[in-house]
């Protein structure tokens, strides 16, 4: 796998070159009918394998954003809520959480909220990646702010317990489960209405 970037006249792209083959159905679903919260993806066949291109115009990666400042409690909260909603909704589109990237350099944020990178050729255990992300957030949190430091530490602690879950994360961070209440201030996008299976299938088939 190789990661590179390209800036063209009309767009900026994150590009991932993969030699590993992808499941063709999952690849098409990710490209044509993926849920909200994922970076828009285009795929191309190359001599070496497959190229995935992700539109990142107007977006900044978590890593770049925190290179000159510290993360705050509200950002940790909204990031965890968005990650939960995206990972929990992938199965509705025949997609898998283990194909997400949770590296700080590949998690993006913009005016419409958090955006995650989905690679149909990738296989990396989701909660193992979340554990590494919690370590990064602990290092980058504002230790002078009691709420932020507590939230970052509790997230790190829970993510390093055996067989942890999002339910444990909500309890440790003293956060309601996403979708439990209307008007969640940490969900600027809102929780999208679920489409029926045949609606998604029709959109996937181009009807």
What does the pLDDT look like over 134-166, one tens digit per residue? 999 999 999 999 999 999 999 999 999 999 999
Cα 34 from Cα 98, distance rounded (Å): 15
- Residues near 38 by beta carbon (within 8 Å), at least 6 away in sequence: 30, 86, 115, 116, 117, 118
Q: What percent of the chain has pLDDT over 70?
A: 86
pTM as predicted? 0.84
Walk across the sheet containing 50-55 and list its strands. Answer: 2-7, 12-18, 50-55, 41-45
Q: Determine contact, residues 130/159, Cβ cutoff 8 Å.
A: yes
Residue 198 has pLDDT above 90, yes or no: no
Helix, coil or strand: residue 27:
helix
How many whole angstroms from its chain centre is CA 13?
17
Residue 182 has pLDDT above 70, yes or no: no
Helix, coil or strand: residue 114:
strand
Cα 205 from Cα 207, distance rounded (Å): 6
Cα 109 from Cα 112, distance rounded (Å): 8
pLDDT at 179: 66
List the structure tokens of 143: 């230790």
- What rounded mean pLDDT belongs to the chain? 86
Radius of gyration of the chain (CA): 17
- Residues near 201 by beta carbon (within 8 Å), at least 6 away in sequence: none
pLDDT at 8: 83
Residue 189 has pLDDT above 70, yes or no: no
Q: Is the dihedral of CA 105, 17, 121, 96 positive or negative?
A: positive
Q: What percent of the chain has pLDDT over 90?
A: 62
Residue 47 has pLDDT above 60, yes or no: yes
- The DSSP code sequence of 143-165 is TTSHHHHHHHHHHHHHHTSTT--
| Mean pLDDT, residues 130-134 taken together | 97
pLDDT at 50: 85
Cα 188 from Cα 178, distance rounded (Å): 12
| Mean pLDDT, residues 11-29 taken together | 86
pLDDT category at 206 given cuts 50, 70, 90 is low
Residue 207 has pLDDT above 80, yes or no: no
Domain boundaries 2-192, CATH class: mainly alpha
| Mean pLDDT, residues 115-127 taken together | 94
pLDDT at 185: 43
| Residue, of 17 and 23, whose pLDDT is higher | 17
| Mean pLDDT, residues 67-72 taken together | 96
Cβ count within 10 A of residue 51 = 16
């Amino acid at each position: 796998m190789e990661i590179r970037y390209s800036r063209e006249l009309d767009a900026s792209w994150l590009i991932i070159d993969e030699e590993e083959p992808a499941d063709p159905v999952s690849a098409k679903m990710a490209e044509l009918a993926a849920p909200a919260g994922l970076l828009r993806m285009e795929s191309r066949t190359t001599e070496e394998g497959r190229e995935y291109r992700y539109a990142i115009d107007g977006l900044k990666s978590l890593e770049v954003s925190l290179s000159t400042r510290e993360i705050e409690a509200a950002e940790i909260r909204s990031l965890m809520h968005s990650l939960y909603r995206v990972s929990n909704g992938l199965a509705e589109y025949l997609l898998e959480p283990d194909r997400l990237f949770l590296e700080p350099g590949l998690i993006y944020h913009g005016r419409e909220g958090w955006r995650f990178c989905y690679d149909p050729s990738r296989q990396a255990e989701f909660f193992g990646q979340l554990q590494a992300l919690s370590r990064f957030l602990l290092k980058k949190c504002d230790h002078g702010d009691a709420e932020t430091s507590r939230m970052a530490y509790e997230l790190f602690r829970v993510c390093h317990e055996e067989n942890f879950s999002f339910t444990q994360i909500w309890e440790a961070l003293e956060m309601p489960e996403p979708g439990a209440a209307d008007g969640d201030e940490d969900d600027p996008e809102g929780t999208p209405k679920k489409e029926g299976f045949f609606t998604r299938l029709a959109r996937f088939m181009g009807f």
